[in-house]
Amino acid sequence: MPTSPHASFLDRLLAELPCLLRAARRLTRSEQDAEDLAQATIVRAIERHADLREEDRMRAWLLRIERSVLLNATRGARQRLEVIEGGRGAESVPEPQGNLEAELLERGFADEVERALARLPPEWREALLLREVEELSYEEIADLQACPVGTVRSRLSRARLALVEGLSERCEEASWQAATASGSRTFRRGTTAR
């Protein structure tokens, strides 16, 4: 039985769901809000199926819809109250599942990358994530950010450089602190022995 073009559209739309959820998590910083945003994006995409002009640029089209849905939802929105459960926020740190040391190192590195990304200007961060995580082309990013392709290239170059510098500074700072801590312990040991 042949599949209808609408069924094909739905299959491709659902295949992009992980991308929509990743982008929504970055935009909302809340799992529940990210799921709501992704769901609203899918509904809007189905409603506006006829607006999709280039089938091979579906991901960029969906991300543009997602951004529009978020902007429309946040216009005039007031701050929302976060419910605190047992002294922790709704999003709590997961319990360790295996090798604790490996998990802590992995979490620590991810936290450092997250902090370094947060320090980037929003346009740079968005361009970098769209290119490296969502794998959009320069042209698609330019269309999404409403700027020339040259500006996208510049933003990506500057974002990559700032990210590497930020992570390098943190590593140097951590090793310097470790060295001075061990040096001060040696000095203290030497003075107490006299």
Same domain, 135 and 183: yes
pLDDT single digits (tens) 65-101: 998 888 888 775 544 544 444 444 444 445 545 555 5
pLDDT single digits (tens) 91-150: 444 554 555 555 545 555 667 778 888 889 999 988 988 898 888 899 999 998 999 999
Same domain, 103 and 164: yes
Same domain, 118 and 64: no
Give the range of the structural domain holding residue 168, as residue numbers without chain letter: 99-194
- Total domains present in the chain: 2
Which pLDDT score, from 0 to 100, does residue 44 have?
92
CA distances from 174 to 29, 139, 166 (A): 27, 39, 12
Same domain, 3 and 43: yes
Query: Contact, 91 vs 30, CB < 8 A?
Result: yes
Same domain, 48 and 109: no
Which pLDDT score, from 0 to 100, does residue 149 have?
94
How far, in Å, CA of 23 to CA of 67, rounded? 9
Final residue of a structural domain among 34, 57, 73: 73
Same domain, 65 and 136: no
Same domain, 67 and 104: no
Which pLDDT score, from 0 to 100, does residue 97 have?
55
Same domain, 9 and 53: yes
How far, in Å, CA of 110 to CA of 116, rounded? 10
How far, in Å, CA of 70 to CA of 123, rounded? 16
How far, in Å, CA of 30 to CA of 18, rounded? 15
Same domain, 160 and 118: yes
Same domain, 69 and 117: no
Final residue of a structural domain among 73, 108, 126: 73
What is the domain-level CATH number for residue 50? Answer: 1.10.1740.10
In a domain, 2, yes or no: yes
Contacts 24+ apart (CB under 8 A), 38-44: 38/66, 40/69, 40/73, 41/65, 41/66, 41/69, 42/13, 42/17, 44/68, 44/69
Task: Quote the pTM value.
Answer: 0.55
Same domain, 48 and 108: no
Which pLDDT score, from 0 to 100, does residue 28 have?
84
